[in-house]
Chains A and B, each alone.
Chain A
Amino acid sequence: MGVTCVCQVPVAEGKSVQQTVDLLHKKLEQMGAVKQGSFCVDCETYHATGNVSGQPSKLLYVMHNSETPLSCMALFEGGPCLVADGNFDVLMVKLKSHFQNAKGHKVECRGSRYRYCDFLIKVGTVTMSSSARGISVEVEYCPCVVPGDCWNLMKEFMQCFLSTSVPELPSVFAAKPEGLFAPADCVDTMTQYLELFNKLRKLQIPGSNVR
């Protein structure tokens, strides 16, 4: 697992989500990237019930990533996170009295996975209750785990096919202590996805672009 950057790609003008994704695929294939199956990231939201003294109820996000097929990540809103195995989903059912599943809030991101030498590129469409909300691009540089060491390389690589919409250093990495060996891990990736999902959720649906 290397350093991962997740970013949102705006839908091209006058094009649908699917068309924009196809455009990206074409660009990647022109570069020489090889398609290697597909990927899927999903996120379910839980409300913590029974909170004390009228505080706003905290949210718990349970996420899965097809890249780590046996794991299940649980992230508290702005708080600790947890990595567990697949049994965690079953456990959440048992904890119904404490965490209620917000049914309508399920977010999914599906797409294809490309490999270009040491880079893994995943282009996916983010769907929320069966409506496409946006496009996500995940770029992973596998040989390195220290974000600061490879960020410029990644940025340069992303410029090749994203041109203008290259993101800045993700905030999860910016928060990491410098100088210390703080490797990027799967939780960083999931945090970035979560940020993206939350951003897209707040977005108003621009009726014309979504089918």
Chain B
Amino acid sequence: ISGVPFRLKETQSSSCEKQVQEVALDGTETYVPPLSMSQNLAKLAQRIDFSQGSDSEEDGPDGESRDQDRDRDREWGKQEVEEEEGTVKFQPSLWPWDSVRNNLRSALTEMCVLYDVLSVVKEKKYMALDPVSQDPSAAKAPQVFQLISKKKSLATAAQLLLKGAEKLSKSVAENQENRRQRDFNSELLRLRSQWKLRKVGDKILGDLSYRSAGSLFPHHGTFEVIKNTDIDLDKKIPEDYCPLDVQIPSDLEGSAYIKVSIQKQAPDIGDLGTINLFRRTQKPKAGAQPWHVKLEAAQNVLLCKEIFAQLSREAVQIRAQIPHIVVKNQIISQPFPGLQLSISLCHSTADKKNSRSSPERTKPDDHLYVLEHNLHQMMREFHKQQLSSVVMPRPASAPFGHKRLRLAGPLAYDKAEISGLQQSEGLLEKIIKQAKHIFLRSRTAKTIDGLASRIEDPQIQAHWSNINDVFESSVKVLITSQGYEQICKSIQLQLNIGVEQIRVVHRDGRVVSLSHQEQELQDFLLSQMSQHQVHAVQQLAKVMGWHVLSFSNHVGLGAVESIGNASAVTVASPNGEYAISVRNGPESGCKVLVQFPRSQTKELPKSDVIQEAKWSHLRGPYKEVQWSRMEGRNFVYKMELLMAALTPCP
């Protein structure tokens, strides 16, 4: 390999020996450690003098072979270095920077050529450039071309913009669609948290029946969840729009309720039938989903239907003295003679026209809301009972059936206790009992109020207890005279109103049972009032210092009263001169007689028997007081005045 373009400044001899780095004072030499291959290479590279490039042009064709050779030689050289340390034979072909140098050199050549060309062009002494006259057609062509190209570029730009716009609008639509989808899903999730749902095929079905709560009603109560898509995307979405809609069975649509009422007189049977009574539609609560409102209404319809079905089934099964009548959507029963309890199912479908056009009799609202509520409550209790009766027995060896019945064996329940556990009254029986009680209560209240407003003297007060049972309530009746409440407290009655009868408990513990007839109660209270007057006279006499000579609640003499018995009292003045006799009957009213001392009577016929003066101390005849002409607010006041008048001044 010839033409090595560099010169080594130092000869190879220098590397024959190790360089001494330091000579210590004792004469030991420290050598510089021999250079490694790469260090050596770097050191040698530093020595290259690039400025002394040779002008030889003979690289190129054999460059490749030279490279190959160099590689091979380097391999060989490496071996050499390893063999004889420090002695590197510098062959120009082995130099690693050869290609770099060659490239730099060719670059330099190019640059020189460029420089020459530029100088030729620049310095006009070598070459001159003259403009050539241009063809006008040739000049026009570029304009057309320009136009075309402009148009084309504009078209492409427009296309790009259009594409972008399309993309944008698509993404907006997609977004909306996504949102709707998302809304549907979230609504579905909400629906699922409150209602039972299942997927059948590609439909989503729900269950609104009470079967899982223990209902035995055969209605399947299935509703379908549908996606509400009938809305125009371009138009504004209405406020109450909901992406989820439910489809309920057609027979559960609309609203329904159970109406319980008690009527006095029975209308003709022909008059019965579908009752058209509709409640005002309830406004849905704010914030509630439309589907929720719809489903709840449907569920309510279902429950009402179940209650009615149960009641009508019982009405047909139960044998009552007066059979219950089931006509269309009405059950009629007679709790008391001349009284009818009607339970009707009112179901209004969505079309309002129907209800408006029907001639609705505007009767006073005779709903018995308490009973309606109780019906619902009892139905739910029934459900709960059903549910609890199918629980698995615990312990496992116990028999199936009612929970409490499991204890019947080990606790040795007798027949009565077991039948008490098993006995279950029907819904209808219960509700009739409750209705009876409610009716009896209201009738009692009306009777007492009627008496209180009709009769001013004595006064009647009723204290109703707040805490009642569904089958029993009580009222305390006090009969007093105005102004004399403290001294006339003889009549205090406790009325326990049951289902069929009223039990009256007197203050002294006597018990009287009254039937449901209101006349009985009225007569009883009237007789009590008349007794009260006589009692009041007795009490007053004690206060006034008079002596009670005789007292009788039930007088056997005189006219026979149609209600109860008359009562009588006789009181004598403190000095015994006068006596007042009072007879008071519930019907005949009061009769007051005053007995004068014999001495005061003038027209007393002379008797043959009573001659002596001492007989003048005998009591004289009675004279009736014209009671209605007496002065005074009430009976007791009049009596007080009379007593005061007959008491001599001290």
* Partner-binding segment picked from B153-161, B413-421, B544-552, B641-649: B413-421
Q: By the criterion CB–CB under 8 Å, are A70 and B408 in contact?
A: yes
Q: Does B405 contact A (CB under 8 A)?
A: yes
Among the listed B397, B398, B412, B418, which residue makes an inter-chain contact with A186, where contact means beta carbons less than 8 Å apart? B412
Instruction: Give Cα A84 to B408, complex, Å.
Output: 9
Q: By the criterion CB–CB under 8 Å, are B397 and A70 in contact?
A: no
Q: By the criterion CB–CB under 8 Å, are B414 and A85 in contact?
A: no
A85-B413 CB under 8 A given contacts A69-B418, A70-B418: no
Q: By the criterion CB–CB under 8 Å, are B399 and A85 in contact?
A: yes
Among the listed A68, A86, A87, which residue makes an inter-chain contact with B414, where contact means beta carbons less than 8 Å apart? A68
Q: By the criterion CB–CB under 8 Å, are A85 and B408 in contact?
A: yes
Q: Does A23 contact B (CB under 8 A)?
A: no
Q: By the criterion CB–CB under 8 Å, are A68 and B412 in contact?
A: yes
Q: Does B410 contact A (CB under 8 A)?
A: yes
Q: Which residues of A contact B398 (CB under 8 A)?
A: 85
Instruction: Give Cα A54 to B406, complex, Å.
Output: 40
Instruction: Give Cα A120 to B413, complex, Å.
Output: 16
Q: By the criterion CB–CB under 8 Å, are A83 and B412 in contact?
A: yes
Q: By the criterion CB–CB under 8 Å, are B397 and A87 in contact?
A: yes
A71-B415 CB under 8 A given contacts A85-B399, A87-B397, A87-B399: no
Instruction: Give Cα A1 to B409, complex, Å.
Output: 14
Q: Does B411 contact A (CB under 8 A)?
A: yes
Q: Does A178 contact B (CB under 8 A)?
A: no
Q: Does A67 contact B (CB under 8 A)?
A: yes
Instruction: Give Cα A57 to B284, complex, Å.
Output: 80
Instruction: Give Cα A71 to B409, complex, Å.
Output: 4
Q: Which residues of B contact A68 (CB under 8 A)?
A: 412-415
Tell me the B405-460 residues at the A interface (CB within 8 Å).
405-406, 408-415, 418
Instruction: Give Cα A84 to B413, complex, Å.
Output: 11
Q: Does A72 contact B (CB under 8 A)?
A: yes
Q: A143 → chain B, closest Cβ, in Å?
A: 13
Q: By the criterion CB–CB under 8 Å, are B413 and A71 in contact?
A: yes
Contact bitstring A61-78, B, C-beta under 8 A = 1, else 0: 000000111111100000
Closest to B408 in A: A70
Q: Which residues of A contact B411 (CB under 8 A)?
A: 71, 83
Size bracket, chain A contacts: 10 to 19
Among the listed A67, A84, A185, which residue makes an inter-chain contact with B409, where contact means beta carbons less than 8 Å apart? A84
Q: Which residues of A contact B397 (CB under 8 A)?
A: 87
Q: By the criterion CB–CB under 8 Å, are A71 and B399 in contact?
A: no
Among the listed B409, B413, B415, which residue makes an inter-chain contact with A86, where contact means beta carbons less than 8 Å apart? B409
Q: By the criterion CB–CB under 8 Å, are B406 and A85 in contact?
A: yes
Closest to A68 in B: B412
Instruction: Give Cα A186 to B409, complex, Å.
Output: 12
Among the listed A69, A83, A187, which residue makes an inter-chain contact with B410, where contact means beta carbons less than 8 Å apart? A83
Q: Which residues of B contact A87 (CB under 8 A)?
A: 397, 399, 409
Q: Which residues of B contact A67 (CB under 8 A)?
A: 414-415
Interface centre among A68, A70, A85, A187 (most CB of B within 10 A): A70
Contact bitstring A84-121, B, C-beta under 8 A = 1, else 0: 11110000000000000000000000000000000000
Q: Which residues of A contact B399 (CB under 8 A)?
A: 85-87
Q: Which residues of A contact B410 (CB under 8 A)?
A: 71, 83-85
Closest to A91 in B: B397
Q: Which residues of B contact A71 (CB under 8 A)?
A: 408-413
Instruction: Give Cα A185 to B411, complex, Å.
Output: 10
Q: Which residues of B contact A70 (CB under 8 A)?
A: 405, 408-409, 413, 418
Contact bitstring B324-363, A, C-beta under 8 A = 1, else 0: 0000000000000000000000000000000000000000
Q: B190 → chain A, closest Cβ, in Å?
A: 49
Q: B416 → chain A, closest Cβ, in Å?
A: 9
Closest to B407 in A: A85
Q: By the criterion CB–CB under 8 Å, are B415 and A69 in contact?
A: yes
Tell me the A1-34 residues at the B interface (CB within 8 Å).
1
Contact bitstring B380-414, A, C-beta under 8 A = 1, else 0: 00000000000000000111000001101111111
Q: B571 → chain A, closest Cβ, in Å?
A: 47
Q: B402 → chain A, closest Cβ, in Å?
A: 11
Instruction: Give Cα A70 to B409, complex, Å.
Output: 5
Q: A128 → chain B, closest Cβ, in Å?
A: 25
Instruction: Give Cα A192 to B418, complex, Å.
Output: 24
Among the listed B405, B409, B415, B418, which residue makes an inter-chain contact with A72, where contact means beta carbons less than 8 Å apart? B409
Instruction: Give Cα A68 to B413, complex, Å.
Output: 6
Q: Which residues of A contact B413 (CB under 8 A)?
A: 68, 70-71
Instruction: Give Cα A87 to B398, complex, Å.
Output: 8
Instruction: Give Cα A169 to B398, complex, Å.
Output: 38
Closest to A189 in B: B412
Instruction: Give Cα A187 to B406, complex, Å.
Output: 19
Interface centre among A69, A84, A185, A187 (most CB of B within 10 A): A69
Q: A62 → chain B, closest Cβ, in Å?
A: 13
Q: Which residues of B contact A83 (CB under 8 A)?
A: 409-412
Instruction: Give Cα A84 to B406, complex, Å.
Output: 10
Among the listed B405, B408, B412, B415, which residue makes an inter-chain contact with A185, where contact means beta carbons less than 8 Å apart? B412
Instruction: Give Cα A67 to B409, complex, Å.
Output: 12
Q: A36 → chain B, closest Cβ, in Å?
A: 10
Instruction: Give Cα A69 to B418, complex, Å.
Output: 9
Q: Which residues of B contact A73 (CB under 8 A)?
A: 412
Instruction: Give Cα A87 to B395, complex, Å.
Output: 13
Q: B341 → chain A, closest Cβ, in Å?
A: 35
Q: Which residues of B contact A86 (CB under 8 A)?
A: 399, 409
Instruction: Give Cα A87 to B397, complex, Å.
Output: 8
Q: Which residues of B contact A72 (CB under 8 A)?
A: 409
Contact bitstring A172-189, B, C-beta under 8 A = 1, else 0: 000000000000011100
Instruction: Give Cα A52 to B408, complex, Å.
Output: 36
Tell me the A123-151 residues at the B interface (CB within 8 Å).
none
Q: B202 → chain A, closest Cβ, in Å?
A: 52
Q: By the criterion CB–CB under 8 Å, are B415 and A85 in contact?
A: no
Q: B418 → chain A, closest Cβ, in Å?
A: 7
Q: B467 → chain A, closest Cβ, in Å?
A: 29
Instruction: Give Cα A85 to B412, complex, Å.
Output: 8
Q: Which residues of A contact B414 (CB under 8 A)?
A: 1, 67-68, 186
Interface centre among B406, B410, B412 (most CB of A within 10 A): B412
Q: B79 → chain A, closest Cβ, in Å?
A: 101
Q: Which residues of B contact A85 (CB under 8 A)?
A: 398-399, 406, 408-410
Q: Which residues of B contact A186 (CB under 8 A)?
A: 412, 414
Q: B394 → chain A, closest Cβ, in Å?
A: 14
Instruction: Give Cα A68 to B412, complex, Å.
Output: 6
Closest to A82 in B: B410
Q: Which residues of A contact B418 (CB under 8 A)?
A: 69-70
Instruction: Give Cα A86 to B397, complex, Å.
Output: 11
Closest to B406 in A: A85
Q: B270 → chain A, closest Cβ, in Å?
A: 48
Closest to B405 in A: A70
Instruction: Give Cα A85 to B418, complex, Å.
Output: 13
Instruction: Give Cα A71 to B405, complex, Å.
Output: 11
The 8 tightest CB contacts between A and B, nearest first, are A85-B409, A186-B412, A70-B408, A71-B412, A70-B409, A68-B412, A71-B409, A83-B412
List 17 interface pairs A-B (beta carbons < 8 Å), by A numbering: A69-B418, A70-B405, A70-B409, A70-B418, A71-B410, A71-B411, A83-B409, A83-B410, A83-B411, A84-B409, A84-B410, A85-B398, A85-B406, A85-B409, A86-B399, A87-B399, A186-B412
Q: Which residues of A contact B (CB under 8 A)?
A: 1, 67-73, 83-87, 185-187
With A84-B409, A85-B410 already in contact, 14 other A-B pairs whose C-beta atoms are closer than 8 Å: A67-B415, A68-B413, A69-B415, A70-B408, A70-B413, A71-B411, A83-B412, A84-B410, A85-B399, A85-B408, A87-B397, A87-B409, A186-B412, A186-B414
